[in-house]
Structure formats: structure tokens, C-alpha cells
Structure 1
Amino acid sequence: MAGRFAPRPTRTTARGGEVVVPAARPAATAPSAGRVRTYAPDGPLDLGLVLGPLRRGPADPTFRAMPDGSVWRASLTPAGPGTLRVSAYGGAVRGEAWGPGADWLLDRLPEMLGAADDPSAFVPRHRLLAHARHRRPGLRLIRTGLVLESLIPSVLEQKVTTDEAYRAWRLLVRKFGEPAPGPAAGGRLWVMPAPRTWALIPSWEWHRAGVDNKRASTILRAVRVAARLEEAVGMEPREARARLEVVPGIGPWTSAEAVQRSHGAADEVTTGDLHLPGIVGWALAGDRHADDAVMLRLLEPYAGQRHRAARLILLSGAVPARRAPRMPVGDIRGL
């Protein structure tokens, strides 16, 4: 069940949300025809860790990590489509942007890269978390300021394998989105569809992408009130989640996954996940059978920073050995 009812378990989408980004070279900071902004963070910043949660699979058409150490993203901003290229070199971050949404993206570049995040607020109370934080000093929590771009792929990830969800996102964005403005990582980036375009996708195209009627219907309900949902970016994370969960089909798991990215919500831990409670339970108490209640109890010492704590646990690699077959990959296309 979803919405205001108890959620069924699903599974963790981003195992810590890390993307491998090669070290940037000086040539990567050469001027371009796009609009440019330079940002000097007040501490270590790892682009792969900060931007990693935005990538929905290795073939995400809206995200590219390039060999020159740059990360490219295509977004649908309130000002229109925009392409953002980010590279870090010599302690500074260079952002370049193209398209109608370029100024919007550059205005929010520091916030997107965690300028509003306060890693010092996290006080590790377990050796594993202290070690994980020491090994990942560049972790900042991203805040995109865009609700729908995190909500829709999160809905696609409900109760299916990551491969199924990533395939659906890739097919739907490439077929119904639009090419990203500017050079766009060599022309390989796409902007996700606008709300009206999502609403006009025929039922058979959802089927071809492997999206069942329940998830498709949830997305259709969400895009019909897209403006109201985007307003949630100006709310506190808890209030934003409550607004998202008014839409039938959006429950606590989906709302948490969305606001973690749109709001940089340090305390909004994901519940209703198939694996996360067992991972947290194993890492902090040796309990691989922990449920949500046990997970939340173990994370109580990190109140205000529970999402950061859970993410550091995922990044630590302290995962119990698998004892059951992997979740089978479904395919509704032949039904």
C-alpha cells in the first residue's frame, strides 16, 4: 500500500550513491561557450559522492561522468531545459551551463553541491561510522531544488529491481524527453519530459517500458499536480513529504527518496525498504534481521542526521552476506 497507508517493503535504490569521477585535469577548466560560475567550497568536496545519488543507473540519459573529470547533468528547471557541466580542480568548482535554464542552474550551484549542508553536525557514535566519515571527507548532501525530477524515477523504482527501474527511466526519457541544450557531453544527454508530456504518454508505451499500471498511474496523478508538488521545495522536509504523500501511490519510501535529493534532507531516513533495515542492523548491532522499528531505534543517537548516518553505512560496505536468491527480474511486456 502507499499514500497514507502502510507501505509494502521495497529496496534500496542507491547503495550510498557514489559515482566514480576521474581526477579533473587543468584542460577540463578551459573556457566554453556556456555561461560560467566558479564556486570555492569551504571544505573537501567529492563530486562523485555529492552528485552520485542523481544517477539512475550507468546509462542514465540525464547524467554523465566523463573521463576528463567532469560531471554533466540535464535538468528541466522552472526556467526551462538546462545542461550543467561541473568540474573540480585546485580546490575550486567550475560550473558551465547552457539553455534557458542555465542561469537557474548556476544560481543554485553552491546549494546543489552541499553549501547549505553541515557535515560537522554529524557526531559518529560507532567506530564504523567514524571510519566511514574519515574515509569520505568530501561527502555533502545534495539539494537540487527540483522535486519532480527525483520523484518520478523514485516511483519507477517502487517494488522492482534496479535494472527494471533504470531501463524504464532510460527508455521513457529518451523517447519522450528532448535533447539537452549545448554540447551536452557530446550530444548524449536528454532532458526529462515536461509534466504535460508525461501525462500524454500512451498506456502501451508504459507497458513497453515495463512499467505496470500502478506505477504509471501514480506518475500520472503526480504530474497533474506538478506545480503544487514543486512548491514543496520551499517547505521543511517533513512538510514536503506530507504534501507528496497526499498523492495516492506515494508513500513514506518514495517521499523520503525524493526529498533526500531535492531538499538535502539530512534526517529523512528511508523506511519501507527491503534491505536497508538489515544493513543498518548488521552494521550497528550485528542484526541482519532488523526491521524498520529496530533500524530507527539504532539510528536514534543520530537524530537530525539519520539519513547521513544511513548513507555512510552504505558507503562503508558493511553489508551482511547474501543468503537468498536475488529478486527476480519481472517483464510485463509479454503480458
Structure 2
Amino acid sequence: MSAPANQLLSERLIDVGATLSWYRHGCGDPTTWLNVVGRGVTSTGEMIRATRTPDGPGTLRIGWSDSPDTDVDGIPGISLAAYGPGAAWMLKQASRMLGVDDQIDHELENDRQPAVAKAARNGRSVRMGASGDLYHSLLPTILEQRITIGEAHNQWRQLCFNLSEPAPGPFTRLLLPPEPGVLARQPSWWFHPLGIERKRAEPLQRVAQHAAKFWDWAVLPASEARAKLHLIDGVGQWTIGNVLGPALGDPDAVAVGDYHLKNMVGTVLASEARATDERMLELLEPYVGQRGRVVRLLQMDGAAAPKFGPKKRIPPMHAW
């Protein structure tokens, strides 16, 4: 069982900055700001996140430091503040975002595979937190389908700048994710000047149409939430594998269909520079239940597949 919240945080057994990092999509994410000073359990910083909740728009600020003057429910060093109609919901969700409920008795630090054991030791303070917000996680993840991560992050910014409104609270230029009704009403051609072609625009609209259901889906077991998400056309294995971790805290979620991930796993676990998705899942089979955690820890530990040949320039969609 995981330690109580006060022990985890007062003894600095959670690397807060690294744990919160997977809620942000790029350094310029207009909905989620993250500032971390230092590294590991001794870091300080703050995360400010604006989102839509079952109760309405809300903004949450999580600050952490070594100062005993800040205190949340007896936990020194952590300060919380929330704004807007969704403030109470976001405050309630904060401990889950910090990964306080994450079960860490996985024994990965003693794994027979040296790379996994090393990554687990180096990342022992990183938790699998959960935002509880499928809608917010799905939008930028859908944009990351089929294109480079830099392009996707820019498109996420542009989508929010064009369709969103300012977030509650005193944070200038912080934006909410697009309101589902507004996003669903946009015709597919509206997205093209942003570089978003029809194959990604239509899933964005479908997700917006189903947004009200996601609050119920977010409290389901991960396997049931996965099955529900598969019902949405354009939301496939890759998108679901990337969303179930940060939204639901699923430690087993793996992004099948990723261009680089299968090669990283093949390189680290079998010294194979190139692999298939089937081979990746075969190599991860001993870690069923913790496959997503293993992949995340390896990535955070710097694991990567070797690169061959020159980089290829990929023109943005509007230049095709």
C-alpha cells in the first residue's frame, strides 16, 4: 500500500515536478503552466491548470517548497488555491493529481532487467497521478496524431487562442480548453488554416459531442473506460494509451502505434534497434499491470532508440 499523503509529501517522497509534468502539452500550453526549480524531491515550483469540471470552469494552483509555513491538511510544503465555479472539484482532485493514491509496491527496482531496475530506482519518487479529466486530455492528444510533437503543441495553442475564454482567477493569458459546444459546432474546414486536417478535426468534434459522458467514464476501471473510448470514431489505441495514464492514473496504459515507442522498448529490453508494436507488447508482457509505468520510467531515464539517416523536414498541413 502507498504511504499516507502527509508522509509522502512531508518526507519529500514524491517528486512533485516530475509527477505533474505529464499534464502539460508543451512549454507553451495555454491551459497548464508548470515552473520547476531544481530536480527531484528537493525541487520547488508551481503548476497552474485551467480546465472544465462537472461544476463549471476552474483553475487550480499547486505550489510546493521546503517552507514549513505552507500547509495543506497537515502536509507541509504544499499550498493549494482554486478559482471559479469548479474550484471545489479541483481542490478535491489535487491529491490524485499528485499521485498520493498511486500504488507503488510494484518491485520494479528489483527487476531482472538492469535498465528497468535502474529507471525504477532513479524514478522511485515519480507517481502516476490522475487529473480525472478525459476531455482536457483527449483534445491535445488527438492533435498529436500523425504529426510532429512541435506542430501539435503549436496547434493546441492556436486552437485555444481561437476558441477558448480566459480562465478564472488572476492569471493573465491562462486559457480554458475550448468549450465543448463551441468546438463541436465548427465545420471541418475551419480547422485547416490551423494545420488540422479533417482526419483529426472530426475526432475533436466527436469528443466535444460526448464531453458530458466523460465524467462518468473517468471513474470507471481503466479497462471499462478504454472500451468506452474505443466507441468514438477516430479515438484509437494510440490516443487511448496516451490518455488513460494522465487522466485516470492507469499504470498499464501503453500507446500502441507510436512511431518511436516500439523502437525504444526494443532497444532497451532486447537490444533491437527496430521493433514492431507486437514485439513491444511481447517484451512488455512480464510487466502487465505496470507496462505504462515501465515505459514512462524508461523515457524519464533517457532511454531512446538509435537514429539512422538525416532528419526529414515535414511541412505543416497548410503547406501540403
TM-score, L = length of structure 1: 0.83
Gaps of 5+ in 1: 1-38
Cα distance between partner residues in 2 of 1:207 and 1:99: 33
2:136 maps to amino acid: E
Q: 1:76 aligns with which of 52, 62, 82?
A: 52
Task: Check if 1:40 corresponds to 2:6.
Answer: yes
Deviations 1:147-182 (A, max 9, x none): 111111111111111111111100011221111111
Cα distance between partner residues in 2 of 1:54 and 1:326? 28
Distance verdict in 2 for CA 1:250–1:327, change over 3 Å? farther
**Change over 3 Å in CA distance of 1:281–1:208 after alignment to 2:** same
Partners of 2:233 and 2:187 in 1: how far apart?
20
Give the count of matched residue pairs.
295
Q: Which residue of 2 aligns with 1:149?
A: 136
2:226 is the alignment partner of 1:257: no
Query: In the TM superposition, what is the alpha-carbon distance from 1:303 to its structure 2 partner?
Result: 1.5
Deviation per residue, 1:102-122 (Å, 9 max, x gap): 111001111111122112224
The residue identity in structure 2 corresponding to 1:127 is: P
Q: Given that residues 207 and 333 in structure 1 are in contact (C-alpha distance below 8 angstroms), is that contact kept between their aligned partners in structure 2?
A: yes
SS at match of 1:110: helix
- Whole-angstrom distance in 2 between the partners of 1:63 and 1:160: 22
Equivalent pair of 2:108/2:116 in contact (CA under 8 Å): no
Q: 1:204 offset after TM fit, Å?
A: 4.3
Given candidates 138, 145, 148, the residue that maps to 2:125 is: 138
- Aligned residue identity for 2:8: D
**For 1:274-318, what per-residue CA distance to the aligned partner results, in whole angstroms no more than 9, with x for missing partners?**
110110111111111121122112112212111000111111212
Equivalent-residue separation in structure 1 for 2:318 and 2:27 (angstroms): 23
1:171 aligns with 2:140: no
Matches of residues 104-253 of structure 1 in structure 2 within 5 Å? 104-124=89-109, 125=111, 126-184=113-171, 187-253=172-238
Residue 195 (structure 1) shift:
0.7
Structure 2 CA distance for partners of 1:263 and 1:327, relative to 1, 3 Å: farther
- Please give the secondary structure, in 1, of the residue aligned with 2:49: strand
One-letter identity of the residue aligned with 1:71: M
CA gap of 1:122–1:268, structure 2 versus 1, over 3 A, is: farther
- Contact 1:147-1:233 within 8 A present in 2 as well: yes
Distance 1:303 1:98 in 2: 39
CA contact (8 A) 1:128 1:316 kept: no
Q: 2-side partners of 1:326 and 1:217: how far apart?
A: 30
Please report how far the alpha carbon of residue 222 of structure 1 lies from its aligned counterpart in structure 2 after TM superposition. Answer: 1.9
Q: Per chain length, whose mean CA-contact separation is higher, i.e. which structure has more relative contact order (CA < 8 Å, sep 6+)? A: 1
Aligned-pair CA distance for 1:123:
2.4
| Aligned: 1:55 with 2:21 | no
Task: Tell me the SS of whatever aligns to 1:42.
Answer: helix
SS of residue paired to 2:317 = coil
* Secondary structure of 1:75 counterpart: strand
Give % identity: 36
The Cα shift of 1:244 comes to 0.8
SS in structure 1 opposite 2:313? coil
Runs (5+) with no aligned partner, structure 2: 38-43, 67-75
CA–CA distance in structure 2, aligned partners of residues 77 and 180 of structure 1: 12
Q: Give the deviation of 1:40 after TM superposition.
A: 3.1
Mean Cα displacement is larger for which, 92-101 or 40-49? 40-49
Q: Higher helix share goes to which structure?
A: 2
Aligned AA for 1:128? Answer: A
Question: For structure 1, which segment, 322-331 or 269-278, has the greater mean C-alpha deviation from structure 2 after superposition?
Answer: 322-331
AA paired with 2:33? R
